[in-house]
């Protein structure tokens, strides 16, 4: 779009040179003075009680500053609702912290861990969501843990529904609309079944890191590898009754998973309090895989009715959500997952779906992109394919009929309905399907697109839409000083190019070169409040807040210039650090004459947020299945959206490509955590055994990006899509695999070779039940 | 009494004299090259990720070839020429290595955490094979994990150097 100077143009990221020369500082690179090192002793058992613990030898070791166990840890709890203590005598998964040591260096801390003597009493574990809710199942929490929210109590391994997402309103954990029995009666086809989505690791190359030190009894300094510094400090500050300052330098990948860092921040802040020193806890990669928060797993057991012409009439089901030994915000994921299903199947009039958040002796669940909807839809929409097969309608045609359009109402995370009056994705279906050659490649349900020897190819489609892109509050301010523009907005650098987008917006509005704009390092000491990078929201919210702040600063600049120039601000404009009369540009004044050496002009901006702007990403995939070995690969992928105005073209393309990784699209057939059911330990606790996509396994990847100007709070009409680019992926991949293999059914993710060969009747495998 | 052994390291054109031993300030036999670089020399551009040689984040050049510094013992690096990401640019002019320049030009990174290791792996590849095919590039980088999926831009960046005919 040529009308802009920076918006929509390819620009080098301002931090790029530091990244390619190794000078960019990530958390563990920071010189934090007088900082002790934390190491944690983890439970070797999935479910146990500490009978006795003796830390005296560890405490005597020279260089050890202190040891924390359940006996001396502060009485704080994190999670939704508060349930996960700093340390507990009751250990709930392999990896649950038993003790934490602060020492002068890592070697001494590790030596100290070996000197701690613990006697455990093992308890029977439970792992599966269906097993955990059966009568007589081992209890992961107990009545005396007093887990309560909004009048609901923990009961038989189910956490209370609801989260702070609903405010004081009732919990949003079910959709009951219309009359499903009548809907099924009006349907031509009714299908029933169960689909399971496995547990996966959305983690980043940089393992989570937190350092903490107390200034005094009421002030804590925290350094955190977080994509959302305010998410780190604000809920925890409320819990512990102290003010927390958070610094977030460069973050080595996050994907939603290093947002709140809730438990490990609480643990580190507690250890700093107990020992009285500044302490850093840099998780090893094994700890990252073994005990850090993972993506939720779930099962959908349901029933769906549709008519011959592809109108969905009724959806009923139990959504069993596995949250492992803890929930950072799983109930929030339930609320958004329900909303995302409701947007996708928006034309369905009759709903009866209810979620249960089930605890078990697996690793606790944290935050990950896709946030509930990816996991629910991977299951519910896969069940739906059984019905589409019977009416012989392809999924693109079906979803175009049933997806939420402008003006339709959809549920979002508060449990209330919202509506987006303008944004429509109808055209996106058509453009993307044509670019992918969908209707050429689609040969019908259970029919491969082509077969070449042992290789069969199939195509699949799914889509995702979230109500979050304009959610919640973001504040910003912009300072003009001399010839410089300083932007304050708590947006971390974690790879998405958002800081470049903010620099462009400020530079565009103030009409200055990009080089004159500095984005302040993300720090809650100097940046105003912000909900954080989540739900693709910062394109609109941070973009809008910074845009308003830049406009306000510009207005003040012109007003102060007008006084000096003896005219009115309306007569003036600014470009390249000069203010000039519109009717006679030769009458001008440089910025440095308006804001000289020790002078600031400050503008403030805010976006308060709503849920009336839903984004959308469509995933088209082709897979190749080796019919002899059962190995499935994605060979061709196309992701599509209408993103409003494009701000960063290259970064946008890379956000789409990023949907493959971080436990997104690749959870359809590749990524999976594997549990040893005998010892209850994750076997995939290193980067060889947990499979990631490497450089020599890349599919062809294309995008179809439509550009409109949507009426969002972004000053240029953009809408963010980063969170959801892979969320519909697994459902599309599994659909494509079933088509490639001739329609044999697979009801469990991921479709690894053993499951594919099983479905083909070529092998019997897996662990005996 | 334990004997001290001298160790001379050549890193980014500088010479560092150490002794191996267990006393304060000495390098223990068990210290990894990654620890020496990051904790003693402040060269934090080399990153720790998996800690077992699987992911490529800690790659440095040893005599021109990429090695995983997290599973390399410093005590065994005597006499080797080590180059880290900080040592690729011209030390006098500050001019970037063509690989670094291409990564900037093609925006071949997102979070940037795996980027130093990938750049080192590309340097190692081009040292051995100045004109790799696309498949050879992908194969050579298969030991470098990137979670953001910047792979496509990385391949484009590397191809731009090869096509440009510049000797990296």
CB-CB under 8 Å, A688 with B113? no
Instruction: Report B:45-84 residues touching A (Cβ under 8 A).
Output: 45-52, 54-55, 57, 84
A19, A284, A688 member nearest B115 (Cβ): A19
Identify the CA nearest to A199 among candidates A722, A635, A650, A748.
A748
Q: Which residues contact A242 (CB under 8 A, 6 or more apart)?
A: A214, A217, A218, A219, A220
Rounded Cα distance, A135 and B117, in Å:
52
- Does A545 lie in the same domain as A398? no
Average pLDDT over residues B77-93: 96
Per-residue pLDDT, averaged over A217-246, amounts to: 96
pLDDT at A474: 98
Same domain membership, residue A672 and residue A591: no
Domain boundary among B85, B120, B155: B85
Report the alpha-carbon distance of residue A715 to residue A146 in Å, rounded: 47
- DSSP calls for A475-512: EEEEEEETTEEEEE-----SSS-HHHHHHHHHHHHHT-
Q: Looking at residue B63, which CATH number applies to its domain? A: 3.10.20.30
| B73 and B127 inside one domain | no
CATH of the domain at B151: 1.10.150.120
Give B89's contacts in chain A (Cβ within 8 Å).
21
* In a domain? residue B34: yes
Closest-CA residue of A relative to B46 is: A22
In a domain, A8, yes or no: no
Report residue A142 as tokens: 């107990």
- Over residues A26-46, the pLDDT tens digits come to 999 999 999 999 999 999 999
Domain-embedded: residue A333: yes
> Which long-range contacts link A143-147 to residues 24+ away (Cβ below 8 Å)?
A145/A83, A147/A81, A147/A82, A147/A83
CB contact under 8 A, B144 and A695: yes
What pLDDT, on the 0 to 100 scale, is given for residue A763?
76
Q: Which residues of A touch B46 (CB under 8 A)?
A: 22
- Whether residues B67 and B104 share a domain: the answer is no
Task: Answer yes or no: is B123 within a domain.
Answer: yes
Q: Does A695 contact B100 at a Cβ distance shorter than 8 Å?
A: no
Same domain, A624 and A603: no
pLDDT of residue A768: 42
Is B65 a member of any domain? yes
Q: Which residues of A touch B146 (CB under 8 A)?
A: 205, 661, 695
Q: How many whole angstroms separate alpha carbon A613 and alpha carbon A467?
A: 6
Residue found by looking up tokens 């000039």 in the block: A580
Which among A206, A252, A657 has the least Cβ separation from residue B152?
A657
Prior bond of A81 cis (ω within 30°): yes
Q: Is residue A145 part of a domain?
A: no
Q: Is there a contact between B52 and A694 if contact means CB atoms under 8 Å apart?
A: no
Q: Does one domain contain both B76 and B116?
A: no
Residue A95 placed within a domain: yes
A148-171, pLDDT tens digit by residue?
A: 999 999 999 999 999 999 999 999
B69 and B18 in one domain?
yes
DSSP conformation class of A458:
E
- Do the chains contact at A696 and B141, CB–CB below 8 Å? yes
pTM for this structure?
0.97
Query: If you search the block for the tokens 């709903």, which residue do you land on?
Result: A351
A394-441 pLDDT, tens digit per residue, is 999 999 999 999 999 999 999 999 999 999 999 999 999 999 999 999
- Peptide bond before A87: cis, by omega within 30 degrees of 0? no
- Same structural domain, B111 and B77: no
- Looking at every residue in chain A, the average pLDDT score rounds to 97
How far is the C-alpha of B70 from the C-alpha of A559, rounded, in Å? 58
Choose one of B33, B59, B85: the last residue of a domain: B85
Is the CB of B142 less than 8 angstroms away from the CB of A662?
A: no
Q: Which of A586, A607, A628 lies at the terminal end of a domain, its last residue?
A: A607
Contact A658 B116 (CB under 8 A): no
Query: Mean of the pLDDT values across residues B143-158?
Result: 98
For residues B97-112, give the mean pLDDT. Answer: 98
SS3 string, A272-327, reads HHHHCCEEEEECCHHHHHHCCCECCEEEEEEEEEECCCCCEEEEEEEEEEEEECCE
Angstrom distance (rounded) from CA A485 to CA A7: 17
Q: Are A465 and A550 within one domain?
A: no
Is the model's pLDDT at A765 over the cut of 80? Answer: no
pLDDT-based confidence at B2, cuts 50/70/90? low
> Which residues of chain A lie closer than 8 angstroms to B103, CB-CB?
16, 20
A473-512: burial string, b at 16+ Cβ within 10 Å, e else = ebbbbbbbbbebbbbbbbbbbbbbbbbbbbbbbbbbbbeb
Any domain includes A3 = no
CA B38 and chain centroid, separation: 12
CA of B47: how far to CAs of A110, A261, A485, B42, in Å? 21, 21, 32, 12
Is the domain of B69 the same as that of B123?
no
Q: How many Å lie between the alpha carbon of B114 and the closest alpha carbon of chain A?
A: 7
Of B85, B111, B133, the domain-final residue? B85
**Pair B143, B110 in one domain:** yes
Judged by CB atoms closer than 8 Å, whether chains meet at B145 and A659 is answered as: no
Are A319 and A435 found together in one domain? yes
Longest Cα–Cα distance of chain A, Å, equals: 87
| Short-list A239, A298, A297, CA closest to A263 | A239
- Whether B13 maps to a domain, the answer reads yes
Answer whether B104 sits within 8 Å of A16, measured CB to CB: yes
Tell me the nearest-neighbour CA distance from A725 into chain B, angstroms: 12
Q: Give which of A9, A16, A21, A256 to mutate to test B binding, by max B Cβ within 10 Å.
A: A21
CB within 8 Å: B96 and A497: no
A709 pLDDT band (50/70/90 cuts)?
A: confident
Is the confidence at residue B168, as pLDDT, over 80?
no
Residues of chain A contacting residue B141, judged by C-beta atoms under 8 Å apart = 694-696
**Residue finishing a domain among A559, A581, A607:** A607
In a domain, A583, yes or no: yes
- Asked whether the beta carbons of residue A495 and residue B141 sit closer than 8 angstroms, the reply is no
Chain A positions touching B152 (Cβ under 8 A) are 654, 657, 698, 701
Task: Examine the domain organization and report whether A221 and A282 are in the same domain.
Answer: yes
Q: Is the domain of B122 the same as that of B73?
A: no
B20 shares its domain with B79: yes
Of A294, A245, A156, nearest in space to A490 by CA = A245
The residue that leads in pLDDT, A521 or A388, is: A388
pLDDT at B166: 47
A368-384: pLDDT as tens digits = 999 999 999 999 999 99
* H or E element, residue A588: strand A588-590
Closest CA to B106 of B166, B151, B140, B144: B151
Flag whether B53 is in a domain.
yes
Res B3: pLDDT:
61
* Confidence at B24, pLDDT banded by 50, 70, 90: confident
Three state DSSP letters for chain B: CCCCEEEEEEECCEEEEEEECCCCCCECCCCEHHHHHHHHCCCCCCCCCCCCCCCCCCEEEECCEEEEHHHCEHHHCCCCEEECHHHCCCCCCCCCCHHHHHHHHCCCCCCCCCHHHHHHHHHHHHHHCCCCCHHHHHHHCCCCCCCCCCHHHHHHHHHHHHHHCCCC
Let me know whether A722 and A744 are in one domain: yes
Q: CB-CB: which of A493, A660, A695 is closest to B138? A: A695
Task: Work out the minimum CA distance from A32 to partner chain B, whole angstroms.
Answer: 12
Residue in B85, B105, B137 nearest the CB of A21: B85
Same domain, B135 and B105: yes
End residue of a domain, out of A607, A629, A663: A607
Q: What is the CATH number of the domain that holds A269?
A: 3.90.1170.50
Q: Over the stretch A645-678, which tens digit does the pLDDT of each residue have?
A: 999 999 999 999 999 999 999 999 999 999 999 9
Is the pLDDT at B167 greater than 80? The verdict is no
Asked if A12 and A514 touch (Cβ cutoff 8 Å), the reply is no
Q: For residue A2, is pLDDT > 90?
A: no
* Residue B74: domain span: 5-85
A28 chain-B contacts, CB cut-off 8 A: 44, 48
Would you say residue B58 lies in a domain?
yes
Residue A381 inside a domain? The answer is yes
Average pLDDT for residues A48-62, to the nearest whole number? 98
Structure token digits, residue B166: 């510049």
Quick one: pLDDT at residue A1?
A: 45
Is residue B34 located within the same domain as residue B73?
yes
Nearest CB among A660, A687, A697 relative to B55 is that of A687
Identify whether residues B118 and B75 lie together within a single domain. no
CB contact under 8 A, B153 and A650: yes
The verdict on residue B92 lying in a domain is no
Q: Kind of pairing, strands A484-488 and A517-519? A: parallel
A315-372: per-residue pLDDT in tens? 999 999 999 999 999 999 999 999 999 999 999 999 999 999 999 999 999 999 999 9
Residue A503 maps to a domain: yes
Chain A to chain B Cβ contacts (< 8 Å) = 169
Distance in angstroms (rounded) separating the CA atoms of residues A153 and A149: 7
Percent of chain A with pLDDT over 70: 99
Mean pLDDT along residues B28-46: 97
> Domain count of chain B?
2
Residues 6+ apart with CB under 8 A from A103: A36, A37, A39, A61, A63, A64, A65, A109, A112
Task: Look at residue A452 in the predicted model and tell me its pLDDT.
Answer: 98
pLDDT in tens, A432-467: 999 999 999 999 999 999 999 999 999 999 999 999
Do A505 and A425 lie in a common domain?
no
User: Phi/psi zone of residue A371: left (φ > 0), alpha (ψ -120 to 50 degrees), beta?
Assistant: left
CATH number of the structural domain spanning residue A558: 3.30.365.10
From the list A205, A251, A495, the residue facing B55 with the nearest CB is A205
Do residue A371 and residue A451 come from a single domain? yes
| Cβ neighbours of A659 in B, within 8 Å | 149
Q: Does residue A262 surpass a pLDDT of 60?
A: yes
Contacts of B142 in chain A (CB under 8 A): 694-697
Q: Does pLDDT of A633 surpass 90? A: yes
Q: Do B107 and A660 lie within an 8 Å CB cutoff?
A: no
Tell me the per-residue pLDDT of B38-81, one tens digit each, with 9 for 90 and over.
999 999 999 999 999 999 999 999 999 999 999 999 999 999 99
- What pLDDT does residue A769 have? 37
On whether both A593 and A445 belong to a single domain, the answer is: no
- Asked if B84 and A22 come within 8 Å (Cβ–Cβ), the reply is yes
Mutation choice for A interface testing from B22, B147, B150, B158 by most A CBs within 10 A:
B147
State whether A303 and A383 are in the same domain.
yes
Specify the number of domains making up chain A: 3
A686 and A754 belong to one structural domain: yes
Domain, as residue range, for A54: 32-123+204-254+258-290
Q: State how far the Cα of A352 lies from the Cα of A177, in Å rounded to an integer.
A: 7
């Amino acid at each position: 779009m040529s009308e802009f100077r920076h918006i929509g143009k390819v620009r080098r990221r301002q931090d790029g040179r530091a990244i390619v020369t190794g000078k960019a500082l990530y958390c563990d690179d920071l010189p934090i003075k007088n900082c002790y090192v934390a190491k944690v002793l983890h439970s070797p058992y999935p479910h146990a009680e500490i009978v006795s613990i003796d830390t005296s030898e560890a405490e005597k070791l020279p260089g050890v500053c202190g040891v924390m166990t359940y006996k001396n840890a502060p009485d704080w709890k994190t999670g939704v609702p508060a349930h996960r203590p700093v340390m507990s005598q009751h250990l709930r998964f392999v990896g649950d912290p038993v003790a934490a040591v602060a020492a002068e260096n890592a070697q001494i801390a590790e030596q100290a861990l070996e000197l701690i003597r613990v006697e455990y009493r093992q308890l029977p574990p439970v792992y599966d969501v269906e097993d955990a809710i059966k009568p007589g199942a081992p209890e992961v929490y107990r009545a005396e843990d007093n887990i309560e929210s909004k009048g609901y109590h923990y009961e038989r391994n189910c956490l209370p529904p609801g989260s702070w997402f609903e405010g004081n309103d009732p919990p949003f954990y079910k959709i009951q609309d219309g009359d499903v029995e009548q809907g099924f009666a009006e349907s031509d086809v009714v299908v029933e079944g169960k689909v399971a989505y496995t547990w996966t690791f959305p983690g980043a190359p940089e393992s989570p890191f937190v350092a903490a030190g107390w200034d005094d009894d009421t002030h804590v300094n925290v350094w955190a590898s977080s994509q959302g510094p305010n998410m780190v400090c604000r809920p925890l500050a409320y819990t512990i009754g102290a003010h927390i300052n958070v610094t977030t330098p460069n973050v080595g990948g996050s994907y939603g998973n290093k947002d709140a860092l809730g438990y490990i921040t609480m643990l580190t802040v507690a250890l700093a309090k107990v020992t009285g020193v500044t302490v850093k806890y840099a998780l090893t990669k094994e700890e990252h895989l073994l005990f850090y928060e993972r993506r939720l797993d779930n099962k959908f057991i349901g029933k769906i009715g549709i008519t011959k012409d592809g109108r969905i009439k009724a959806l009923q089901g139990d959504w069993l959500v596995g949250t492992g030994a803890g929930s950072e915000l799983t109930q929030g994921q339930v609320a958004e997952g329900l909303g995302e299903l409701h947007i996708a199947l928006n034309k369905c009039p009759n709903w009866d779906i209810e979620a249960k958040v089930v605890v078990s002796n697996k690793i606790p669940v944290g935050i990950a992109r896709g946030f509930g909807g990816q996991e629910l839809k991977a299951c519910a929409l896969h069940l739906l394919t059984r019905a589409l097969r019977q009416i012989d309608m392809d999924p693109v045609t079906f979803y175009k009929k049933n997806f939420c359009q402008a003006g339709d109402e959809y549920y979002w995370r508060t449990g209330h309905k919202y509506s987006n009056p303008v944004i429509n994705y109808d055209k996106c279906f058509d453009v993307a399907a044509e670019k992918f050659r969908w209707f050429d490649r689609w040969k019908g349900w259970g029919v491969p697109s082509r077969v070449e020897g042992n290789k069969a190819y199939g195509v699949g489609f799914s889509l995702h839409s979230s109500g979050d892109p304009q959610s919640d509050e973001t504040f910003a301010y912009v300072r003009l000083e001399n010839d410089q523009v300083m932007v304050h907005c708590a947006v971390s650098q974690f790879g998405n190019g958002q800081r470049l987008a903010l620099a462009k917006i400020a530079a565009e509005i103030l009409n200055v070169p990009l080089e004159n704009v500095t984005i302040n390092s993300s720090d809650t000491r100097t940046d105003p409040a912000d909900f954080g990078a989540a739900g693709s929201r910062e394109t609109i919210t941070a973009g809008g807040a910074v845009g308003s702040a830049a406009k306000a600063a510009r207005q003040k600049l012109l007003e102060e210039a007008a006084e000096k120039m003896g005219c009115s601000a309306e007569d003036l404009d600014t470009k390249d650090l000069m203010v000039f009369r519109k009717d006679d540009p030769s009458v001008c004044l440089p910025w440095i004459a308006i804001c000289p050496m020790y002078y600031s002009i400050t503008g403030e901006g805010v976006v308060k947020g709503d849920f009336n702007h839903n984004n959308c990403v469509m995933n088209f995939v082709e897979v190749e299945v080796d019919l002899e070995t059962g190995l499935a690969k994605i060979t061709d992928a196309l992701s599509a959206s209408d993103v409003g105005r494009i701000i960063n073209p290259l970064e946008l393309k890379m956000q789409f490509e990023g949907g493959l990784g971080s436990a997104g699209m690749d959870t359809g057939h590749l990524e999976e955590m594997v549990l040893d059911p005998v010892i209850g330990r994750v076997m995939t606790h290193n980067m060889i055994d947990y499979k990631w996509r490497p450089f020599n396994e890349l599919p062809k990847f294309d995008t179809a990006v439509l550009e409109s100007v949507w009426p969002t709070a972004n000053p240029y009409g953009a809408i963010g899509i980063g969170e959801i680019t892979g969320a519909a992926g697994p459902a599309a991949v599994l659909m494509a695999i079933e088509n490639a293999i001739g329609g044999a059914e697979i009801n469990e993710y991921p479709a690894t070779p053993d499951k594919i060969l099983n479905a083909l009747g070529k092998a019997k495998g897996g662990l005996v039940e | 009494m334990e004997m001290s052994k001298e160790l001379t390291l050549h890193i980014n054109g500088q010479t560092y004299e150490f002794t191996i031993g267990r006393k304060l300030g000495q390098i223990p036999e068990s210290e990894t090259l990654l620890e020496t670089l990051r904790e003693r020399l402040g060269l934090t551009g080399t990153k720790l990720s998996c800690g077992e040689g699987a992911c490529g984040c800690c790659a440095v050049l040893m005599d021109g070839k990429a090695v995983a510094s997290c599973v390399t013992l410093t005590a065994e690096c005597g006499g080797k020429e080590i180059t880290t990401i900080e040592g690729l640019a011209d030390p006098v002019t500050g001019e970037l290595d063509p690989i670094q320049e291409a990564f900037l030009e093609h925006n071949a990174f997102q979070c940037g955490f795996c980027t130093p290791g990938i750049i080192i792996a590309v340097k190692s590849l081009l040292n051995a094979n100045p004109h790799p095919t696309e498949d050879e590039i992908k194969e050579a980088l298969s030991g470098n994990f990137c979670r953001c999926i910047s792979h496509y831009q990385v391949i484009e960046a590397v191809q731009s150097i090869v096509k440009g005919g510049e000797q990296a």
